[in-house]
Structure 1
């Protein structure tokens, strides 16, 4: 990161940071994308099982990753304030915190998997795949959390191409592992959807090892000497990071888990309906990586300018990011509308699943716009370290507006299962509007205070 003066310079730096993050996020989600597609080729029950398993794993995964994402604005602001000497201690404590969170999630998950799955009306094969998909992917949980902590540190310094390089190395390996474990190659049994969990866990370990090697040996990271002179865990620093990270993590959790809640509610429908819902949500989430990447870029660029107390520049980056997100939403919507049949056939050869997937994709067009507007605003607020209010706004918009309205539409109108998706549109739109209002208030306050 470096200071910019003109809009042209800002656009150039914004794109330098954004493009590697975008490639990284798309590639990371491609792992889930290929998990879903390749599991679907193993059968509708395997696809539905991975859908249920992902619905339990992904909100927890993204919630913890959200907590660890606090490292990006912390590092960006320390860099902008020319206090880089504090970074090594901060990153080391973040790694300790990553391990602690992984242990807690593992223990809690061990007690909750069976009770939660037992509450759902699932076919035996679907329940079996879901359970062991979660167990196998969980084996790579702690390496995955440490990797994301180190990635947030690397990205916070503005070196987003490093994260891109790591994921571009591991993605082909993940596809290969999927092929081996899902379909039973090299003399191994065909695990079906469970094999996708095994493949993901192995990929998480590879990402973890690559990130450690880069931080230890590659400039400029090696100059921080992260893996030399380890200090003891400092609970005070953990609490400091958690105060920033927990609201971020829970905001992400509330947004992601609403999709999981819809999947659970759809469990009363047929296996084909669950499979179609998962296929559509998987592809829509794939497109969501674009506004999410813009949000992560804004956290870094806005955080850097806020750390240096250049609030006019922070505001300029903010609107540049929002405009980019809205423009891309039109492209994403067009893709969903024009190529709905081709997208549906990626996931299944079952005519009923294809037909249902196409109908779900139509609703996905509309919440792409809410995501494209709301996600960048969340990234901006994280750059300001203004995270507590976004936590409450996310809870209210997604769970007190979106989910109840979806349940009403599904159960008291002719929309049936599609009513839940219309509820998602309502919740995401409410969240985007309220967060935008908070952003405008905060920017005006900061500019008036320091101008």
Structure 2
């Protein structure tokens, strides 16, 4: 039955999406808060320790986000099975996703440890190099359990259980902060470990998150119908491979996005500490605000996948468009907030007048950034609900590496060998213009892709 865009229908769908999204949002903020706590608490030790943790965190955050994207295939698979009423298939899918998590976690741990070789080429002091490398080596011990946790996270979210994820993430943040305090500063007779204490506590929390999720699934009655630990099951390679093919493009997309932002931060470094600081503040605030449309997107995977699983492409299209609309509405509000209160935002981060002035300027670009970023993440997540991931990957690779970064380099660096380069480098502003335009292209193409895909599914279903 076609879904009309009447106010009652939209309100019901928006309420259902919000019920899924708000616990995810709190959980996402708690997870991000662990990295923030690591850097903030280490900042009270020494500059060398802070530099080591910052470098180590930059490596593991890229690996972690890529791994998260790769593991998101289970969200779509389970959502389709829930919609189809095939609850008996869900335990098998979850068990295979857990086997997949072992392989993904091993690859992630290997990649993280190999990435420390890059520190040898960054002109770091031997002390910072050694401490940053040790930070990554220790924290990589937690990547396999974290991949397994994300498999159970996706399973839980896809059967409409997002509040457990929120609670576990908040508890993990609290434990992380407490252990940081003990290990970084040597409380209760423990040795004073500095930044290495952050790595130990974060790795332990990753294991604790997995244990807590397993315990919750075991004791909560809502998981009884789809309980995945009722029996042992060996890997079923065709099923694992299908989830790899579904998840790897998402992981590549996450890597493309975060690596472009990392590259921009490195390229801006040549313009001095004021520019770098202003850029990082504007990017940090924009990233925090981005957690809201991202949480909507994760909820949309469940809503769209369940609708398609029950054979209702009309409801899937309706859920997709309402989700995109909610993300865009929030982006408009957040963009207005950033534009109007940019002075207050900058002042909350720093008292340096030069940094504040430049940050206020960049936050205007950040406001525009919200509109395109919210639209592209919502549209791409809705498309993933259709079990389609390669098309969005190509679009986002084009947007980030084909448009945003090259255009940012042209405008920001103004290389003299290009005949169409500006007369003078635009510094950070040029890179932010590139990011805004690249994301705008991604938003337009992904929204068009979603509209076309959802319409094709509706028409195909009508012909049956």
Structures share fold, TM-score greater than 0.5: yes
Deviation at 1:245, TM superposition (A): 0.8
**Structure 1 position 62, deviation (Å):** 1.1
* 1:28/1:78 CA distance change after superposition, 3 Å: same
Residue of structure 1 equivalent to 2:179: 177
Shift of 1:407: 1.2
Aligned to 2:310: 308
Query: Alpha carbons of 1:356 and 1:43: their partners in 2 closer, same or farther (altered >3 Å)?
Result: farther
User: Is 1:443 aligned to residue 454 of structure 2?
Assistant: yes
Is the contact made by 2:59 and 2:115 (CA closer than 8 Å) also made in structure 1?
A: no
Verify: 1:120 aligned to 2:122, yes or no. yes
Deviation per CA, 1:305-353: give whole Å up to 9, x if none.
1111211211211121112111211332344345545555665666666
Q: Given the alignment of the two structures, is residue 386 of structure 1 paired with residue 397 of structure 2, yes or no? A: no
Alpha-carbon distance between aligned partners in 2 of 1:218 and 1:283, rounded to the nearest angstrom? 36
Equivalence map 1:177-216=2 (5 Å): 177-216=179-218
Asked whether the 8 Å contact 2:141–2:203 carries over to 1, the reply is yes
Q: 1:150 aligns with which of 125, 149, 152?
A: 152
Cα displacement (A) at 1:28: 1.9
Corresponding residue for 1:55? Answer: 58
Partner of 2:108: 105
CA distance in 1, matches of 2:129, 2:355: 19
- For residues 20-419 of structure 1, the aligned pairs below 5 Å read 20-42=23-45, 48-114=51-117, 116-122=118-124, 127-128=129-130, 130-268=132-270, 270=272, 273-340=275-342, 343-344=345-346, 357-412=359-414, 413-419=424-430
Query: What displacement does 1:274 show?
Result: 4.4
What's the counterpart of residue 421 of structure 1? 432
Calculate the aligned-residue CA RMSD, in Å: 2.7
User: Tell me, what secondary structure is at the counterpart of 2:187?
Assistant: coil
> Which stretches in structure 1 are left out of the alignment for 5+ residues?
none
SS in 2 for 1:140: helix
For the pair shown, which has the larger CA radius of gyration, 1 or 2? 2
Aligned partner of 1:15 in structure 2 is: 18
> How many equivalent pairs are there?
448
Q: So what's the TM-score if we normalise by structure 2?
A: 0.88
- In structure 2, relative to structure 1, the CA distance for the partners of 1:67 and 1:44 (3 Å cut) is same
Taking a change above 3 Å as real, the CA distance of residues 8 and 335 of structure 1, as seen in their structure-2 partners, is closer
**How far apart are 1:53 and its partner, in Å?**
3.0
Structure 2: any 5+ residue segments left out of the alignment?
415-423
Cα distance in 1 between the residues matched to 2:335 and 2:46: 29
